[in-house]
Amino acid sequence: MSAIESIGVYVPRYRITADTIGEAWNGFEARGVHEKRVAAGDEDAVTMSVEAAKDALAASSHRRDDIETLVLGTTTPPVEEGDIGVQVAEILGLDGSTEVAVHSQSTRAGTRALMAALRADTPGLVVAADCPLGDPDRAVDHAAGAGSVALIVGDAGAEVIETATYASEYPGTRFRQRGSETTEKYDATAYERDAYTTVIGGAVEKLTESPKAIAPTAPDGSIPSRTASVADGAAVYQYADELGDTGAASPLFGLVSAWEDNASPVTVVGFGDGAGADAVTIEGLLPVEITRSETDISYAEYLRKRGHILSDGGDK
């Protein structure tokens, strides 16, 4: 299986603007993010995965019984131990013989999931979903958004023409300690930029064709633009400026942005702390559009929904 047959997208309806957060903290620390989506108290990587997957399946020629592989990528599983992939498969009504795998611990997990599904060479469902959380006064939380993207992998559609992988040790650019719910980073800006551009550049250099358009992991709305320097000036696509940091789903949201702009081919690049990167070049277009009602919330509501006030996750 070497093509993406259909796509589904889910974003939460709650929205908060950078100005609203900035007023609360006398400044906003997430560069390039103008607004972001906020997961409700009853939304997580599982529920968002299911919503995106339903749309991808509805747009596919494959029935649910045809899906032989499900691969999920997330950095924010709702439990530390437990197979959330099986939960998603059960909710979707996939066959019990479906091969299920989950990639986590890195914002590279979305592209890891995609590459695993491609290698399985069976009709597959790929889902990347995330809703990262940081300390309320830090840039990680100011950027932290939410959303999910699902892809059906098959024989026809937008063709995957090339993949590449690269890894080089750059620890500490983004991490979450065991037992903690909040993501951290060292805030060494020059080091983070070097890790991001060097490792993404390493993956891009392994491709036989230089990207014409690139959709990289987007921890904010600013740093993705730096990938143009390692991709021969390719057009850069991201959705962090409107959705915030969607973690493992962010490079696939970049693909959505590129397809909305009729860009093809697009090189999707997942980057994760450690550091490693995957580059997946996709030729062709699929119809996709993010359509979701918006409900603006106050900062106090934001704190409740994200569990900063109530440890059990806040209101709905």
Q: Give the CA dihedral 121, 251, 88, 66, nearest 10 degrees.
A: -30
Tell me: the pLDDT tens digits for 39-62? 999 999 999 999 999 999 999 999
Tell me: the pLDDT tens digits for 251-302? 999 999 999 999 999 999 999 998 999 999 999 999 998 877 899 999 999 9
C-alpha span between 17 and 254 (Å, rounded)? 20
Length of the chain equals: 316
For residue 307, pLDDT over 90 is answered with no
Confidence (pLDDT) at 4:
97
Provide the pLDDT confidence category of residue 121 given band limits of 50, 70 and 90: confident
For residue 35, pLDDT over 80 is answered with yes
Tell me which residue of 204, 111, 153 sits closest to 1, measured CA to CA.
153
Whole-prediction pTM: 0.95
Tell me: the pLDDT tens digits for 206-243? 999 999 999 999 999 999 999 999 999 999 999 999 99
Tell me which residue of 56, 270, 70, 286 sits closest to 158, measured CA to CA.
286
For residue 314, pLDDT over 70 is answered with no
C-alpha span between 230 and 43 (Å, rounded)? 36
Confidence (pLDDT) at 189:
85
For residue 316, pLDDT over 70 is answered with no
Tell me: the pLDDT tens digits for 167-212? 999 988 888 888 888 888 877 789 999 999 999 999 999 999 999 9
Determine the average pLDDT of the residues in 131-153: 96
Confidence (pLDDT) at 202:
97
Confidence (pLDDT) at 1:
61
Confidence (pLDDT) at 315:
53
Q: Could you give the domains of the chain? A: 3-158+291-305 (3.40.47.10), 162-283 (3.40.47.10)
Judged on CB neighbours under 10 Å (0-12, 13-18, 19+), 17 is middle
Confidence (pLDDT) at 180:
87
C-alpha span between 56 and 61 (Å, rounded)? 10
Percentage, residues of the chain above pLDDT 70: 97
- Cβ atoms 174, 223 nearer than 8 A: no
Determine the average pLDDT of the residues in 15-31: 96
Structure tokens, 300: 């106090």
Provide the pLDDT confidence category of residue 23 given band limits of 50, 70 and 90: very high
What is the average pLDDT score of the chain?
A: 94
Confidence (pLDDT) at 310:
56
- Cβ atoms 21, 36 nearer than 8 A: no
Q: Give the CA dihedral 173, 177, 181, 186, nearest 10 degrees.
A: -30
- C-alpha 158 chain-centroid distance: 19
C-alpha span between 194 and 199 (Å, rounded)? 8
